[in-house]
């Protein structure tokens, strides 16, 4: 039964890609913050130290000390670049297979590292709070943002449950 619920959730998310209007709202908001890579990751680590503890290079280290390091900037850039790539493909129905491939890979990689749904949800909360406080934000942007994350997380969570989205 759980398997069917997961498949239904994934099917709903895949069947409801962002509209071009939602994609435009999302891209505009993201464009305002996507060059704040270090600040975005620092906000995530600050809000949820358990996420920082999942990174071997950063575990047990003071956030203020690592925030200025090249390793921190590199990992922050990787995270933001991934998000940027998915956002840039949003709103283009022909790009949906590419998005599924990218997000399936992310989900599988994080499953292999033992990342939990709870930690993904903590990440979501922190990055959403960052975006809402650093980009032009309203109910319409929040709705587009949440729609996009719901779609991505349906795929990630399917992977964490052992059922990648086709």
Q: Is the dihedral of CA 105, 107, 110, 111 positive or negative?
A: negative
At residue 13's C-alpha, the angle toward residues 11 and 16, to 5°, is: 105
pLDDT at residue 78, rounded to an integer: 97
- The encoded tokens of residue 77 equal 């850039």
- The encoded tokens of residue 92 equal 């283009």
* CATH code that applies to domain 2-160: 1.10.490.10
Return the number of other C-beta atoms located less than 10 Å from residue 58's C-beta.
21
| Residue range 77-110, pLDDT digits in tens | 999 999 999 999 999 999 999 999 999 999 999 9
Chain Cα centroid distance, residue 139: 19
pLDDT at residue 16, rounded to an integer: 85
CA distance 64 to 38: 11
CA distance 54 to 37: 18
Residues of the chain with pLDDT under 70: 1-15
HEC assignment per residue over 56-72? CCCCCCCHHHHCCCHHH
pLDDT at residue 165, rounded to an integer: 87
CA distance 51 to 94: 34
pLDDT at residue 13, rounded to an integer: 44
């Amino acid at each position: 039964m759980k398997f069917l619920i997961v498949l239904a959730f994934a099917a709903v998310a895949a069947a409801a890609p962002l509209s071009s209007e939602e994609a435009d709202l999302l891209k505009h908001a993201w464009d305002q913050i996507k060059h704040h890579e270090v600040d975005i990751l620092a906000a995530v680590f600050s809000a949820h130290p358990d996420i920082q503890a999942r990174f071997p290079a950063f575990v047990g280290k003071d956030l203020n000390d690592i925030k200025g390091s090249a390793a921190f900037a590199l990992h922050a850039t990787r995270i933001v670049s991934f998000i940027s790539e998915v956002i840039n493909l949003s709103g283009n129905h022909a790009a949906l297979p590419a998005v599924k491939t990218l997000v399936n890979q992310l989900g599988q990689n994080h499953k292999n590292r033992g990342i939990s749904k709870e930690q993904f949800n903590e990440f979501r909360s922190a990055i959403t709070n960052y975006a809402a406080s650093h980009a032009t934000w309203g109910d319409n942007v929040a709705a587009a943002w949440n729609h996009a994350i719901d779609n991505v997380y349906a795929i990630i969570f399917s992977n964490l449950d052992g059922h990648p989205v086709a």
